[in-house]
A and B are shown apart, each in its own frame.
Chain A
Amino acid sequence: MLVLSRHRDESIMIGDNIVITIVDIRGDKVRLGIAAPQDIPVHRQEVYEAIQRENQQAARLQPNEAAALRKTK
């Protein structure tokens, strides 16, 4: 893994169209600004991984288990 040191308001570029800027540093928290093309999704890793797991769990659901959601008329 490439490790770079940056100060506040400095940036790094990934390729020629993604710019990540250090917006603020406070204690152990860093705020990043990310400028990327619209077709490149940007996600917080832990949130993305949690949604991956959630979708994979959901894909195991069988019709009989979801039957309770049918509205009774």
Chain B
Amino acid sequence: MDIYTARFGKLEIADEEVILFADGLIGFENLVNWILLSDEQSEDLGWLQSLQQPEVALAVVSPRRFAPEYRVRMEKEESSPLRLTADDEVFVLTIVSKHDDSLTINLRAPVVINLTKQLGLQIVTTDEQPLQYEIQSEPSVYRKSA
């Protein structure tokens, strides 16, 4: 099917590429159908694009690159919408945002995707991870925000 996006224009996608977020994302509770796009120029950067609202897309990166020690801690029950089994391939992503001149990632509420079943969920971690973990500011230096 063809989808229209505000940032990337018209895209042709296969039905099996659609990721179902049954609860939506936090603040976007009604948006349940998403697709994960890889950036044209980099495999390290992805975009979680809503299929329902063309203008809603979230830049996502693997937290491993910026916070190697990071672990997702959550209540066991919270992951139930992902219907995880031992053989499923799971992807943890963090959402990129911009505050003033700094790019930040949200370690408090990562996005977890069960790639095998194409199910996604935004989790609120049980430990107090930063919502705005600074990963790059101008000029480009990497440092940790408080």
A residues bordering B, Cβ < 8 Å? Answer: 38-39, 41, 43, 47-48, 50-63, 65-71
B95, A71: Cβ atoms closer than 8 Å: no
Residues of A within 8 A of B122 (CB): 51, 55
What does DSSP make chain A's interface, helix, strand, loop or mixed?
Answer: helix
- B interface, how many residues as a size bin? 35 or more
Q: A51-B108, A52-B26, A70-B44 are in contact. Are A59 and B58 (CB under 8 A)?
A: yes
- Total of A-B residue pairs, C-beta within 8 Å: 95
B136 touches A63 (CB 8 A): no
Within 8 A of A (CB), among B105-146: 106, 108-109, 122, 124, 131-132, 135-136, 140
* Chain A residues closer than 8 Å to B8, beta-carbon distance: 63
Contact across chains for B96 and A54 when beta carbons are under 8 A apart: no
The reply to whether B44 and A55 form a contact with Cβ atoms under 8 Å apart is no
Given A41-B23, A50-B131, A51-B109, check contact A58 B96 (CB 8 Å). yes
Q: Complex Cα distance A41/B31, Å?
A: 17
Which listed residue, A48, A53, A61, A71, touches B96 by the CB 8 Å rule?
A61
Q: Which 8 A-B pairs have the closest CB atoms?
A: A52-B27, A70-B42, A58-B97, A55-B27, A66-B59, A51-B109, A38-B80, A51-B26
6 sampled A-B residue pairs with Cβ under 8 A: A51-B109, A51-B124, A55-B58, A66-B96, A68-B140, A69-B44
Chain B residues near A69 (CB, 8 Å)? Answer: 42, 44-45, 59, 61, 96, 103, 135-136
Minimum CB–CB distance from A22 to chain B (whole Å) comes to 20
Q: A38-B80, A69-B96, A70-B42 are in contact. List 17 more A-B contacts (CB 8 A).
A: A41-B23, A41-B78, A50-B108, A51-B26, A51-B109, A54-B27, A55-B25, A55-B106, A57-B99, A58-B106, A60-B98, A61-B96, A61-B97, A61-B98, A63-B39, A63-B59, A70-B41
